Amino acid sequence: MSELPETFEELARLRQGIYRIFSAAFLPPQPERLVDLIAGADMLEGMGLPYLAFYYEWVPWRTALNDVDDVISIDIEYVRMFTTGVTGAVSPPVESFYTADPGRGEVAEVLAKLRLVYDKYRLEPTSVVSDTLDHVSIQLEVMSALCAREAEARADHNDRRLELTLDNQLEFIQDHLGSWLPAFVDRIATVETAPFFATLAPAAASFVHHDTGVVRSLCRGMAQPEPAR
C-alpha cells in the first residue's frame, strides 16, 4: 500500500525515481526496457507517488504503459516522432530545437553551455543518447542524479552539500529542462501518435512543473535562519 514519504530524504528518493523512469521512457523502446518501466512504476506508486499533485497526469500514461503489446509498433512511432533527424522528426526531443536559432549558430551555443553545466555538476551522460547533450532523456537523468545527491546529503546531515545540490536543481530546471519542455509537449499534442507517447509527455511536463515548486520551497527552507534557542 502506498504511503506518503515521511522525510525529505524519502521525498528526494521518490523524486529521483520519477525523473529516472521518465528519462528511460524517452529512450528507444525495447522489450526489457518496457518491463523495467512497469516494475519501476509499481515501485514508485508504493513509495508515495499517488500523493503528488501530478498523479492525475501519471495515470493515463501508466495505463498506456500497461497496454503496450507490440514493441515494434511503438519503436516505429518513436523513430517517426523523435529520431528522424532534428529537421525531420515530428517532435524533436532536444532543447536546442525550441530555444535556439540554427541560422545564428545558437545550437552550438546551447550544447556548449550544457557541457559546461554537466562539468560543473560533475556529471557525464552515459545513456544511448549521451551524444545528444540536450536530449530530454539526458536532462531528466541529470535531475535524477541531483535528487540522488540531495538524498545522500540529507542522510549525511551535510547542509553545505544539500544547499549546493538544491541550488543546482533549481538552476537546471529554470535554465534548461523547464524552459523548453512545455513547448515540446505542445508540439506532441498537435499530432496523432501512440497513446504511450501522447500521455508520456504531459505526465513528464506536469511532474517537472510540480517539482519546480517543490525545489523552490526546499531552497527557501534552506535560506531560513535557524530559530533562536
Backbone angles phi, psi at 225, to 5 degrees: -70, 150
Q: How far apart are CA 175 and CA 13, in angstroms?
A: 23
Going by pLDDT thresholds of 50, 70 and 90, the confidence category of residue 183 is very high
Going by pLDDT thresholds of 50, 70 and 90, the confidence category of residue 229 is very low
Kindly state the DSSP code that residue 227 receives in the 8-state scheme: P
Condensed to tens digits (0 to 9), the pLDDT of residues 151-182 reads 999 999 999 999 999 999 999 999 999 999 99
Tell me what the mean pLDDT of segment 42-60 comes to. Answer: 95
pLDDT of residue 2: 66
Sign of the dihedral defined by the CA atoms of residues 114, 58, 144, 173, in that order: positive
Going by pLDDT thresholds of 50, 70 and 90, the confidence category of residue 224 is low
pLDDT greater than 60 at residue 212: yes
Domains of the chain as residue ranges with CATH: 8-223 (1.10.3480.10)
Strand partners, 94: 135
pLDDT of residue 228: 44
Write down the pTM of the prediction.
0.93
